[in-house]
Amino acid sequence: MQESKVNINRIHSLYESLVKRHTSLDSTFHTILNEGMKAFNLSLGIISQIDGDSYALLAVSPEGKDLSAGQVFELKNTYCHRVVSEKKIISIEHAGSDPDFNTHPVYIGMKLESYISAPIWIREKVWGTLNFSSTQIKEVSFSKDDHEFISLMADGIGSLIEMNLLSVEKEDVISALSKNNDILESIFENSTIGMALVSPSGQWVKVNNSLTHMLGYTEDYLLSINFQNITHPDDLTLDLQQLDSLAQGNIPFYQLEKRYLTASENYIWILLSVSLVREDNGDVKYYIAQIQSIDERKKMEMELKNQKEALHEANIILERMATEDTLTEIANRRKFMLWFESEMTRLERHPVPISVALADIDFFKSYNDDYGHQEGDFALKSIAKKLSHTLRGQDKIARFGGEEFILLFPETDEKGCLLVCEKLRKSVESLSTLKRTVTISIGGVTYYPKEGVIVHFDDLLKVADSKLYEAKRSGRNQVKVVNLAVYQD
């Protein structure tokens, strides 16, 4: 469960790094590199671009005098040469013990022992690499989850770079639109993401193959409707508000995550980016829409959310199992000890009297013998509930074992302890839901803190148990309370 939680947390962190709006692509790269170094416990992260035999550093974390963004090396002199040539993830925990690595120029020059790298794919070819390394030997082998995680990171970086490339291409296209329509047509039709021209009324004017393939509609059908027809009702209002702000000139463009209805009658999540072209008189000529499917990312986000909720619920159940008595549904001895230690710590700062008491059901064995264990269990639960409801707000109760309960009374002196114990005793005696009248005997002890004196739980328990025995011996259905100092004297 702990490994699952680690994987969930680091995927969640990666998702936040990818969707967060950073001021620049370089800032996003550094955020992702820092997440990766933390996830793999390695000290160096690099995003590179491969151009023929050249290996250019796009982003380095942390940057130093030896390695910084902008530097270019020969690809053959890098560990990433294998990643590019084999087109797959490569990892090594102890390069010095591997003959394929210990004679490599990087190992000789930098002594990088641990290393993991994945190719960055853009437009169906290896565009660059993402890698993390350290001069320290990695004691634990890279796992399948590690390989899957760095693959997710590389895919995310590839998507960001491709979106950036498309954005640059879009701006170039818009600026040259009036002069060279052929360039626009080529990029529009061959774009790997959905693109469309939309009229001011929302009617699809032109759509590319990527969009029709994504949504499953024919081009003719899309051109016969407007975008409102396939937008999820819950997303439409915000989309129209953003479109109005764009038309009014309040914003230069907008991005929006929304849902489109596909031809198979399923909604998919898309990332919509919208800008516009105006007529010479300033009116909107048409909107330019870029539409990228993020359905898999949204599913991953939902799965992460579900896993986190399931983990939270499991932790609550485990906590209850560890601290709650399953029969009476009140605290168990372990939980009581946590309360006690907390109160004793508080007493060091604010010395006030504290009382502890043991309550035991009188003649409970005969009750079980006469009416059976099922009725006995019912009696235990009823008494536990009655005691819990009778206690003051600050008091604590736990099942101590068998038919015995232990009670903690913060800021309660000897007289207060006697009064509350008597109230508890009478409340049980008044129970009318049991087969016969049941009583309890209670033994209590009060401790008055003294500077330099340390009292342990066993000290109080021993005295409370002694007073409980005295109450039993005196005829039961009684309360006996004593000051710890008097008892010790």
Average pLDDT of span 79-102: 92
CATH 3.30.450.20 domain position(s) in the chain: 177-297
Complete DSSP assignment for 264-283: TS-EEEEEEEEEEEE-TTS-
Across residues 452-481, what is the average pLDDT?
91
Mean pLDDT of 320-338: 84
H helix or E strand, kind and range, residue 461: helix 457-473
| Fold designation for 2-168 | Beta-Lactamase (3.30.450)
CA distance 48 to 345: 55
Say if residue 426's pLDDT is above 60.
Answer: yes
CATH class of the region 177-297: alpha beta
Which CA distances in Å does 131 have to 89, 156, 365?
A: 9, 14, 70
For Cα atoms 393, 398, 400, give the angle at the middle one, nearest 5 degrees: 155
pLDDT at 188 over 90: no
Angstrom distance (rounded) from CA 193 to CA 213: 10
% of the chain at pLDDT higher than 90:
58
Query: Does the pLDDT of residue 445 top 60, yes or no?
Result: yes
Strand ranges in 336-410 using DSSP code E only, listed in sequence order:
354-361, 396-401, 404-409
d(CA 79, CA 57): 13
Q: What is the pLDDT of residues 275-294, one digit of tens each?
A: 998 998 999 999 999 999 88
The mean predicted confidence, pLDDT, of the chain is 87
Percent pLDDT > 70 in the chain is 90
Residue 367 pLDDT class (50, 70, 90 cuts): very high
When pLDDT is cut at 50, 70 and 90, the band that residue 2 belongs to is very low
265: alpha, beta or left, given left = phi > 0 and alpha = psi -120 to 50? left
Residues of the chain with CATH 3.30.70.270: 324-488
The pLDDT assigned to 438 comes to 94
H or E element that contains 57: strand 54-61
Q: Please report, as a single letter, which amino acid is at residue 214.
A: M
Considering only CA atoms, which of 272, 297, 277 is closest in space to residue 194? Answer: 272
Mean pLDDT of 409-435: 94
CA distances from 399 to 27, 95, 188, 333 (A): 56, 58, 73, 6
Task: Specify the CATH class of 324-488 in words.
Answer: alpha beta
Cite the residue boundaries of each domain of the chain with CATH code 3.30.450.40. 2-168
